[in-house]
Amino acid sequence: MDSSLEFSNSLGSVSSLLTRCRTFKVLVIGDSGVGKTCLTHRLCAGEFPCRSEATIGVDFRERVLEIDGEKIKLQLWDTAGQERFRKSMVQHYYRNVHAVLFIYDVTSPASFSSLTSWVEECRQHSLGQDIPRFLVGNKSDLRDPKKTDSQVSQERAMSFSKAHGMIFFETSAKDPPKKGTSGQQGSRQALYQQDNVEDIVTAVSLKLKRQKKLLTANSLAYSGSFKLTNKKAEKEPMTCC
């Protein structure tokens, strides 16, 4: 009797390891109107929302992926860009963060200039340098090669990302073009590299998966993300972590 109990217990722990799903909190910050809501919607639901309103406080969206046989849940915190809608919430945003997405609008140099204050806000909330940071230039579908002065160049963004230890992407939540395409066919402007939204999700997940140090430091935060397999659970979709 004892040995069969022991056997089923060990089977239970093996299957719990197999169905383990780690949850990572990913903070999405940037000026109001840069497209944080649309981008997180696209990242999680796979589509551009038909309408979006200014975020008040925070919205949560989740995406579950399987990386090298392991389930990873990204919990995206789409925060309000407007100061009046974020004031009382800021402390909560920065608690137990595992990664940060800094978003700007490629057609708004002002939103790019604001990035320094977003970086500063992270510093003020003691966000360690070991927390992975990603810089995302959104609305690349609106790039106009004739208006380079009023847009944020990829060179400028790349040098900012390098200086701040960020991984850089340029994309469009609305209409991500295929990699290596130019903004205007046949134009003399240099080609600009644009990324698919999916590339961002994969990069964030891979980076987080490799952050072994984080796992140990925040092991308590994951305690709710483990469960034993049973027949019912096996039939459930992967999104049930």
Q: Which residues sit at the interface with ligand GTP, rule CB under 6 A?
A: 32-38, 52, 54-55, 80-82, 138-139, 141-142, 172-174
Q: How far is the CB of 55 from ligand GTP (least distance, A)?
A: 3
Q: How far is the CB of 202 from ligand GTP (least distance, A)?
A: 19
Nearer to ligand GTP, 56 or 228 (CB): 56
Nearer to ligand GTP, 28 or 72 (CB): 28
Q: Which two tokens stand for residue 159?
A: 């040098």
Nearer to ligand GTP, 200 or 241 (CB): 200
Neighbours of 38 (CB within 10 A): 21
Nearer to ligand GTP, 78 or 204 (CB): 78
Question: CA-to-CA distance for 146 and 194, rounded, in angstroms?
Answer: 18
Nearer to ligand GTP, 30 or 132 (CB): 30
Question: CA-to-CA distance for 152 and 148, rounded, in angstroms?
Answer: 7
Nearer to ligand GTP, 114 or 161 (CB): 114
Question: CA-to-CA distance for 155 and 110, rounded, in angstroms?
Answer: 16
Q: How far is the CB of 227 from ligand GTP (least distance, A)?
A: 33
Q: How far is the CB of 20 from ligand GTP (least distance, A)?
A: 32
Q: Which residue is nearest to ligand GTP (CB)?
A: 81
Q: Taking Cα atoms as reference points, which of 204, 88, 104 lies closest to residue 158?
A: 104
Question: CA-to-CA distance for 132 and 165, rounded, in angstroms?
Answer: 8
Q: How far is the CB of 186 from ligand GTP (least distance, A)?
A: 22
Q: How far is the CB of 195 from ligand GTP (least distance, A)?
A: 12
Torsions phi, psi for 156 (to 5 deg)? -65, -45
DSSP string, 82-149: SHHHHGGGHHHHTTT--EEEEEEETT-HHHHHTHHHHHHHHHHTT--TTS-EEEEEE-GGG--GGGGG
Residue 186, amino acid: G
